[in-house]
Amino acid sequence: METGKHKHDCKEVFALLSEYLDAELDAERCDEIRKHLDDCPPCIEFLESLKRTVSLCHGCQTAEQPPPLNPEVREKLMAAYRKSMQNRARQGL
Amino acid sequence: MATDKRQEIQLARDLIEGKPEAFDRFVEVFRSKVFQYALMMCGHREDAEEVAQDTLFKVFENFDQLRDPERVRPWVFRIARNACYMKRRKSVFAPTQELSLEDFLPHSEGDGSRKLEIADWSALPDDQVLRAELRDVIHQAIQELPEMYRAAIMLRDVEELTTEETAQVLDVSQEVVKTRLHRARLAVRAKLDEYLRRRQSGVAKG
């Protein structure tokens, strides 16, 4: 993002930002990124926007809902459940 | 969301223990979830309804196979993912186009200054109208993603499965999930950024 000495670092950091946000990096990598961020406001700004994107996606379901469940379908589902529970009982679980 | 997950696990546990009173609530919760996932994955309401029904049928048919109620969400989504594949339509499951990281690198100003060409996210007002608009932008952005990226962001960020659970649902390694998820997030972020910039310049112009 920045020209000059940080340019390479920014690209490397950019590739790891999701893993950094998800706390899926090892401690050493995490420290490296934190150090870079301390000194790179554009990367922090980008990271914040990515973090906001992720939090906006959480539970971001469409407003659409399926139509009401047909009673016949419910009966079929219930019959399948009962049958599998009988199997479970037979297996002694 | 954490409460939702706990509730799902409890419902699964009740059903495993043979308490049929949990049945209707379980159906209601997962039918809606699978329908919404399938709608994003298949793009057709009719397909999504069928996927939801087929998935639930398979879930109950195989309920004796669910050993650990804690795994109920990824288990159901694995079945849903397969049901979505059965509904493959060329338009939505087109040959996969790879997204490159380079495409999402923000550009710095030509003079080498540190100002980035991104919208002012800190000025994002927290009002309901904007939230609804952002939700639409997100849905649109997710739907435009190639299928493999769409699946990753739907499972990891919308449905909040873990990386390990998502890898299991999609039958890929955790590293692959991380790579796809990052690109998907960058693509969605870029669409949100574009939208916010348009909105902010509109507001500035009055």
Q: Which of residues 32 through 91 in chain A touch B, CB cutoff 8 A?
A: 41-42, 45-46, 48-50, 52-54, 56-62, 64-67, 69, 73-74, 76-78, 80-81, 83-85, 87-88, 91
Nearest to B39 among A2, A62, A88 (CB): A62
Question: Residue B13 pLDDT > 60, yes or no?
Answer: yes
For the stretch B85-125, pLDDT in tens is 988 765 555 566 788 888 888 765 555 444 556 777 876 76
Do residue A48 and residue B121 have CB atoms under 8 angstroms apart? yes
Largest CA distance in chain A: 70
pLDDT of res. B200: 80
pLDDT of res. A9: 85
Nearest CA in chain A to B57: A77
Nearest to B114 among A2, A60, A65 (CB): A2
Work out the number of other CB atoms within 10 angstroms of the CB of residue A36. 17
Give the DSSP letter string of A12-61: HHHHHHHHHHTT-S-HHHHHHHHHHHHT-HHHHHHHHHHHHHHHHHTT--
Do residue B157 and residue A57 have CB atoms under 8 angstroms apart? yes
pLDDT band at B189 (very low <50, low <70, confident <90, very high): very high
Q: How many CA atoms lie within 13 A of B122 on its CB side?
A: 5
State the CATH architecture for B101-205: Orthogonal Bundle (1.10)
Task: Name which of A61-70, B57-66, B127-136 the model is least confident about.
Answer: B127-136
- Are B59 and B79 contacting, i.e. CB atoms less than 8 angstroms apart? yes
- Are B4 and B25 contacting, i.e. CB atoms less than 8 angstroms apart? no
Q: How far apart are CA A8 and CA B25, in angstroms?
A: 52
State the CATH architecture for B2-86: Orthogonal Bundle (1.10)
Q: How far apart are CA A40 and CA B89, in angstroms?
A: 45
Low-confidence spans in chain A with pLDDT less than 70:
1-8, 93
Q: How far apart are CA B168 and CA B177, in angstroms?
A: 10
Average pLDDT, chain B: 88
Please compute the mean of the pLDDT values over residues B174-185 and round it to a whole number. 98
Domain boundaries of chain A, sorted by first residue: 7-60
Four-CA torsion B134, B135, B138, B144, nearest 10 degrees: -120
pLDDT of res. A3: 46
Distances (CA, A) of B42 to A52, B46, B169: 27, 9, 17
Interface pTM (ipTM) of the complex? 0.87
Helix axes B23-42, B2-16, angle to 10 degrees: 130
For the stretch A9-21, pLDDT in tens is 898 999 999 999 9
Predicted TM-score (pTM) above 0.90:
no
Contacts of A5 in chain B (CB under 8 A): none
Q: A66 Cβ partners below 8 Å, 6+ apart?
A: B31, B32, B35, B48, B49, B52
State the DSSP H helix or E strand holding residue B154, giving kind and residue range, or none if neither: none
